[in-house]
Amino acid sequence: MVQSAVLGFPRIGKNRELKKATEAYWSGKISADELNTAAKNLRLEHWKLQKDQGVDIVPSNDFSFYDQIMDHSFTFNAIPERYLKYDLTPLDTYFAMGRGMQRPAADGKPAVDVPSQEMVKWFDSNYHFLRPEVSDKTEFKLNSTKAVDEFLEAKQANIQTRPVLLGPVTFLYLAKATKESSVKPIDLLPKLASAYVELLKKLVEAGAESVQIDEPILALDLPKEVLDSYKSTYETLAQAGAKLILTTYFGPLKQNIEILKGLPVAGIHIDVCRAPENLDDTLSILSDKQVLSVGIVSGRNIWKTDFQKAVAVIEKAIAAVGSERVIVASSSSILHIPHSLSGEDQLKPEIKRWFAFAVEKCAELAILTKAVNEGPASVRKELEANAADAKARAESPITNVKAVRDRQAAVTPEMHTRATPFEKRYSLQQESLKLPQFPTTTIGSFPQTKEIRVTRNKFVKGLISAEEYDAFIRNEITDVVKFQENIGLDVLVHGEPERNDMVQYFGEKMEGFVFTVNGWVQSYGSRCVRPPIIVGDVSRPGPMTVKESAFAQSVTSKPMKGMLTAPITILRWSFPRDDVEESIQAQQIALGLRDEVLDLEKAGVRVIQCDEPALREGLPLRRADWAQYVDYAVKAFRLATGGVKDDTQIHSHFCYSDFNDIFDAIQGLDADVVSIENSKSDMKLMSVLSNYKSCIGPGLFDIHSPRVPPVEEFKERIDALIKSVPKNRLWINPDCGLKTRGWPETTADLENMIVATRIARNENA
Cα distance between residue 294 and residue 299, in whole Å = 12
Instruction: Identify which of residues 435 and 528 has a Cβ nearer to ligand 39S in the complex.
Output: 528
CB of 456 to ligand 39S, least distance (A): 4
Tell me the one-letter amino acid at 576.
P
From residue 611 to residue 640, the character string flagging contacts with Zn ion as x (rule: CB under 5 A) and all else as - is --x---------------------------
328 by DSSP, 3-state: which? strand
Compute the distance between CA of residue 127 and CA of residue 723 in angstroms, rounded to an integer.
Answer: 34
Could you tell me which stretch among 209-217, 618-626, 668-676, 733-741 binds ligand MET (CB under 6 A)? 733-741
Residues with Cβ < 8 Å from 716, sequence gap 6 or more? none
Active-site residue flag, 651: no
DSSP summary character for residue 126: S
Of 24-32, 79-87, 351-359, 524-532, the window that binds ligand 39S (rule: CB under 6 A) is: 524-532
Torsion of CA 362, 367, 369, 370, to 10 degrees: 140
655 binds Zn ion (CB under 5 A): yes
Q: Taking the complex as a whole, how short is the minimal distance between the CB of residue 737 and Zn ion, in angstroms?
A: 6
Active-site hit among 269, 339, 494, 704: 704
Distance (Å, whole) CA 450 – CA 730: 35
Task: Tell me the residue nearest to ligand MET as measured from the CB.
Answer: 737
From the list 196-204, 222-230, 441-449, 583-591, the region that binds ligand MET by CB under 6 A is: 441-449
Binding-site partner at residue 418 among ligand MET, Zn ion, ligand 39S, none, CB < 5 to 8 Å by type:
none
Per-residue interface string for the shown chain with ligand MET, residues 634-673, x marking contact by CB under 6 A: -------------------x-x------------------
Distance of CA 14 to the CA centre of its chain: 19
Q: How far apart are CA 90 and CA 72, in angstroms?
A: 14
Q: Does 29 bind ligand 39S (CB under 6 A)?
A: no
Contact with ligand MET (CB under 6 A) among 328, 337, 736, 753:
736
Q: Is 79 annotated as a binding residue?
A: no
- The interface region with ligand 39S, picked from 336-344, 389-397, 450-458, 601-609 by CB under 6 A, is 450-458
**Spatial CB neighbours of 743, under 8 Å, sequence gap ≥ 6:** 447, 449
**Rounded distance between C-alpha atoms, residue 101 and residue 93, angstroms:** 9
* Kind and range of the H or E run holding 631: helix 626-641
Per CB under 6 A, the list member of 300, 561, 739, 741 interacting with ligand 39S is 739
**Which CB, 636 or 736, lies closer to Zn ion?**
736
- How far is residue 676's CA from residue 227's CA, in Å, rounded to a whole number? 32
- In 686-749, DSSP assigns E strands to 695-698
Closest to ligand 39S by CB, 456 vs 474, is 456
Number of residues engaging Zn ion in binding (CB under 5 A)? 3
Residue list 468-507, contact with ligand MET (CB under 6 A): 496, 502
**For residue 437, what are the CA distances in angstroms to 459, 490, 673?**
43, 10, 14
DSSP 8-class letter at 89: -
Query: Cα separation of 494 and 485, whole Å?
Result: 12
Measured CA to CA, the distance from residue 130 to residue 74 in angstroms comes to 11
Question: Which parts of 547-566 interact with ligand MET (CB under 6 A)?
Answer: 563
**Using rule CB under 6 A, residue 672 touches ligand 39S:** no
Q: What phi, psi does 89 have (nearest 5°)? A: -65, 160
Residues near ligand MET (CB under 6 A) are 443-445, 496, 502, 563, 611, 613, 653, 655, 736-737, 739
Which residues contribute to the site for ligand 39S (CB under 6 A)?
126, 448, 450, 453-454, 456-457, 500-503, 523-524, 527-530, 573, 739-740
User: Which residues are near Zn ion by CB under 5 A?
Assistant: 613, 655, 736
Q: Catalytic residues, which ones?
A: 704
